Structure 1
């Protein structure tokens, strides 16, 4: 099966998609990694999570104006629901996801 393009993934109907723009060398990104894993478990079946390495995916990073990392963007059917740069605690991220998804449900 061919890999889906980034646009296909964020435009897909159904559940929202949280995109984590990161880099391997980024300290705050390393702090965010276990938080993203925890959110993935909490939101299982309700949310897709995609990690985008900004060093390996410069075109996508530029398309979305990523200037600081980590940057999180929550998409629903291609539309940006929420965006934030920096570390976000798991409880706050789960709360934000819940509020944003409720608006489009």
Structure 2
């Protein structure tokens, strides 16, 4: 099982998942907690595989993120502390959490 990488070419398909909510991991390249949370997500994926789709987006990649940034602005999503987890339902963000998360904290968030 892997986490879907999101970019401008696939973001609509990823976020508008008709079957499951989407947990989007927003990260930047030089971020220690971002690397740690990816491991937490990978360990948690089997538990949520039938209920949540996991995706990630590198916010450093400006060339392939203009449409995603526009979507974030349209929904008043402010990305501050990294990593940020966003939960999307029917293509709209419904919850967010910034900073590192343990498996237990991820369970509470989801």
Verify same fold: TM over 0.5: yes
Q: How many residues align?
A: 95
In structure 2, the CA distance between the partners of 1:63 and 1:69, relative to structure 1 (3 Å rule), is farther
Q: Please point out which of 93, 101, 106 is paired with 1:80.
A: 93
The normalised TM-score by structure 2 is: 0.74
Q: Please point out which of 32, 36, 56 is paired with 2:37.
A: 32
Structure-to-structure mapping, 1:1-105, within 5 angstroms:
5-56=10-61, 57-59=64-66, 60-61=68-69, 63-64=71-72, 65-97=78-110
The normalised TM-score by structure 1 is: 0.77
Deviation, 1:89, is 1.3
Gaps of 5+ in 2: 1-6, 73-77
Aligned partners of 1:14 and 1:77 also within 8 Å: no
What is the alpha-carbon root mean square deviation over aligned residues? 2.0
Deviation above 6 Å: which 4+ runs of structure 1? none
